[in-house]
Structure 1
Amino acid sequence: MGIECQSDFIKVNNKLYPCTVSVAMDLVGGKWKAVILYHLKDAHKRYSELRKEMPGVTERTLSLQLKQLEEDELISRQAYGKKPPLKVVYSLTDFGRSFTPVLNAIIGWGNQIATQKGEFVKNPL
């Protein structure tokens, strides 16, 4: 029996989960969290840089996802300056970097799908 089945529930940050997969998916699941982590994988980025690299995400969604990732300690937000406009930079924390092997596996699988079942096209807009 694996660690994921040792109990009925797992409690993390005062939240109960039925299994360890639920814990992991709460942290990185959804359409944009893994994409944000991918874009922060090799370098820290400003909000505007993330927006340019992720044209399909709305500003509201990006802002909410960044806040959730920060609350879950996967990314850090560093603000520079004392009055607006502030320079704000996002980067992976050590905990966020621990997701890199999983992210690399997702990237590899996505590349395989794109190569075998898809095609690379220019932006039609």
Structure 2
Amino acid sequence: MSAAPSTPVLAPYVPAGPASAVALAQPPAASAPGLPPLPPGSSVTIQIAAIETSWVEVRDSRGKVVFGRQLEAGEIAGLEGVFPMRVKIGNAAGTTLSVRGQAVDLAPVTRDNVARLELK
């Protein structure tokens, strides 16, 4: 009776251990500042790190909220799913975003410290 879900399941990404100062001081060029590198073979497509307390909402292509909650300073969330996805980040200045390992500049899509963007 349990069929495979038709929508992607999103789960938080939790690094294997606490991020070391060395790893954060020398991030790979493809990672956003303050984000640890993704483990090899990871299926995480979106990685969000809260430098300060932030609020994040991710909607799928049908507008359904698939992830929505407050991230505390220092917390990292990793999501996997099918694009397009719409992302809204409260306190954009205190948050970093990486998509498929590439840092995303939130400044052009931020108004009143809230970033709104569609990921394709």
TM-score, with normalisation over the residues of structure 1?
0.24
Q: Which of the two has greater helix per residue?
A: 1
Structure of higher RCO (CA pairs closer than 8 Å, 6+ residues apart): 2
Compute the TM-score of the two structures, normalised by the length of structure 2. 0.25
The structure with the largest alpha-carbon Rg is: 1
